[in-house]
């Protein structure tokens, strides 16, 4: 089967390559914009609580621990419902699943305007995580059904940069709403912010039903020839090591747990930035709500640009794993610098946040090109949401511990330094531990086959002896 795929890919000539390129470009223009916008809005609806925090805590009389725990509860729902959402997607298709997910989290985010106490705040944050759980891993698998590795790396970096750009939306609209809509119709500004920022998600979720196909086979803009070319190109990347089902359960697969640990460490830093960046800028002296929002815009645009450039360069070098580690180490350095400058230098704070976002964003974008190199094709559909779910526990722990450290020590420094150490560990696991694990796996396989070959030779020798019982005695007498 594998050889058939290779032969089909080799049959693509010059004209076929041009047709394949046109098919990919046409698909990218139809798929990337709507998914990127949804991913941006997903981050708007999960992270706008960090901007609402500037008013909400005093309005509802919440402490830092209540805020941190509530912000982190999003990821508890995210962890629990990640795999079930992917199983639903595999059964009913990507189009219906993504539409339902988007409409669900949009309605939940709108309902945040009715939060009045810690219990309602906790419940809505948990439900928001439940609805968003299947979107990100679902898009990863969706991209894998559309694009080869090189295009997937570049497209995924662009898709993921939408998450960084979400802070632009939160910053611009949030600053304006908190400054100019507070008290309008006797409604607090932070409540208006949740309503205004969540409404577009519901609209876009409805559009998914009319725009997004389930895969290349149902894409109306592709000809039958283009669909065959895309499938042949995807099949050509299959290798004997990754093709076919995985006989090993993901729960007993060491590589799955190692990848989960790496992603956990990367997300620890990402969560620290996502939920506390407006507070950092406020403490750094960037001014009022609008000024903080403008600073967020600049930081996120530059961070997104750095992520795209870095990830594109990594995909051309075909060393995504090494560059994922490099991006993580860049983020570590910037987080350490940030701890020492955000109370003394606005320029230093701005620059450190830009590098931290670019490094963390590139780390996440490049990380998701790693599992397909080490996991069987048959296990990817479950392994991806499993890794995502386990790793997103970091999103629950990081804001909770950071808020607790703030109330205990009066500073966010301990939380951010812990996040930096976690991301440094991710880099070490990528460049040192994964190669060792792969080498040991190969050695164990080789040892198994050598033992099997020895046993087969021994059995064959015994069979031969039984067939010629007088051979050995004759040989001994002759000696």
Mean pLDDT of the chain: 79
| pLDDT band at residue 38 using 50, 70 and 90 as cut-offs | very high
The average pLDDT across 376-390 equals 76
Q: Using pLDDT thresholds of 50, 70 and 90, give the confidence band for residue 375.
A: confident
Q: Checking phi first, is residue 238 left (phi over 0); if not, alpha (psi -120 to 50) or beta?
A: beta
CA-CA distance, 92 to 59, in Å (whole number)?
Answer: 43
What pLDDT sits at residue 14?
Answer: 60
User: In sequence order, which ranges of 48-134 are alpha helices (DSSP H)?
Assistant: 49-60, 64-92, 94-110, 118-132
The reported pLDDT for the residue numbered 444 is 57
| DSSP string for 366-406 | HHTTSHHHHS-HHHHHHHHHHHHHHHTHHHHHHHHHHHHHH
Tokens of 409: 């020590």
Average pLDDT over residues 334-347: 88
This prediction has a pTM of: 0.67
Q: For position 3, what pLDDT does the model report? A: 44
* Tens-digit pLDDT profile for residues 157-196: 788 777 767 777 776 777 788 777 777 887 787 888 888 8
Residue 246: pLDDT over 60: no
CATH classification for the domain delimited by 2-455, as one of 1.10.760.10, 1.10.10.10, 3.40.50.20, 1.20.1250.20: 1.20.1250.20
Quick one: pLDDT at residue 13?
A: 53
pLDDT at 106: 92
What mean pLDDT comes out for the span 442-465? 45
Q: Which two tokens stand for residue 400?
A: 């909770």
Q: What is the pLDDT of residue 424?
A: 93
E strand spans, 295-413: none
Token pair for 443? 């050695």
> Which stretch of 79-88, 161-170, 255-264, 289-298 has the lowest confidence by average pLDDT?
161-170
Interval 186-243: pLDDT, tens = 778 788 888 888 899 999 999 998 888 888 888 888 888 888 888 888 777 665 544 4
Proportion of the chain above pLDDT 70, given as a percent:
85
pLDDT for 308:
83
* Ranges of each domain in the chain: 2-455
186: number of Cβ within 10 Å:
5
């Amino acid at each position: 089967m594998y050889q058939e795929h290779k032969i089909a890919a080799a049959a693509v000539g010059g004209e076929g390559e041009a047709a394949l390129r046109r098919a990919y470009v046409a698909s990218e223009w139809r798929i990337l914009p709507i998914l990127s916008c949804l991913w941006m809005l997903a981050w708007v609806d999960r992270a706008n609580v960090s901007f609402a925090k500037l008013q909400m805590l005093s309005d509802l009389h919440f402490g830092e621990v209540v805020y941190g725990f509530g912000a982190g509860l999003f990821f508890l729902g995210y962890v629990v419902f990640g795999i079930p959402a992917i199983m639903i997607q595999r059964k009913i298709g990507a189009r219906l699943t993504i539409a339902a997910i988007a409409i669900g989290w949009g309605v939940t985010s709108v309902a945040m305007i009715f939060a009045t106490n810690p219990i309602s705040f906790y419940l809505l944050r948990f439900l928001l995580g439940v609805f968003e759980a299947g979107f990100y891993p679902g898009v990863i698998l969706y991209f894998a059904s559309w694009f080869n590795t090189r295009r997937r790396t570049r497209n995924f970096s662009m898709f993921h940069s939408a998450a960084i750009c979400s802070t632009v939306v939160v910053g611009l609209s949030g600053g304006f709403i908190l400054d100019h809509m507070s008290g309008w119709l006797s409604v607090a500004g932070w409540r208006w912010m949740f309503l205004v920022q969540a409404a577009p998600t519901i609209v876009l979720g409805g559009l998914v039903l009319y725009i997004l196909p389930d895969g290349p086979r149902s894409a109306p803009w592709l000809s039958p020839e283009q669909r065959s070319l895309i499938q042949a190109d995807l099949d050509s990347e299959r290798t004997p090591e990754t093709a076919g089902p995985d006989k090993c359960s993901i729960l007993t697969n060491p590589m799955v747990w190692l990848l989960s640990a790496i992603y956990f460490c990367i997300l620890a830093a990402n969560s620290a930035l996502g939920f506390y960046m407006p507070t950092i800028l406020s403490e750094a002296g960037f001014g009022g709500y609008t000024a903080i929002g403008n600073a967020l815009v600049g930081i996120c645009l530059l961070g997104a640009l750095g992520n795209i450039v870095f990830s594109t360069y990594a995909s051309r070098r075909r060393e995504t794993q090494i560059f994922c580690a490099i991006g993580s180490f860049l983020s570590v350095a910037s987080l350490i610098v940030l701890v020492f400058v955000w109370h003394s230098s606005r320029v230093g704070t701005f620059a450190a946040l830009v590098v931290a976002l670019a490094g963390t964003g590139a780390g996440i974008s490049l990380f998701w090109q790693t599992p397909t190199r080490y996991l069987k094709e048959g296990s990817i559909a479950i392994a991806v949401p499993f890794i995502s779910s386990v790793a997103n526990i970091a999103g629950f722990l990081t804001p909770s511990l950071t808020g607790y450290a703030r109330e205990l020590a009066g500073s966010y420094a301990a939380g951010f330094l812990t996040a930096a150490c976690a991301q440094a560990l991710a880099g070490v696991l990528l460049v040192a531990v994964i190669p060792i694990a792969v080498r040991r796996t190969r050695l164990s396989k080789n040892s198994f086959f050598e033992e099997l070959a020895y046993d087969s030779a021994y059995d064959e020798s015994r069979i031969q002896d039984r067939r010629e019982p007088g051979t050995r005695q004759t040989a001994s007498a002759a000696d």
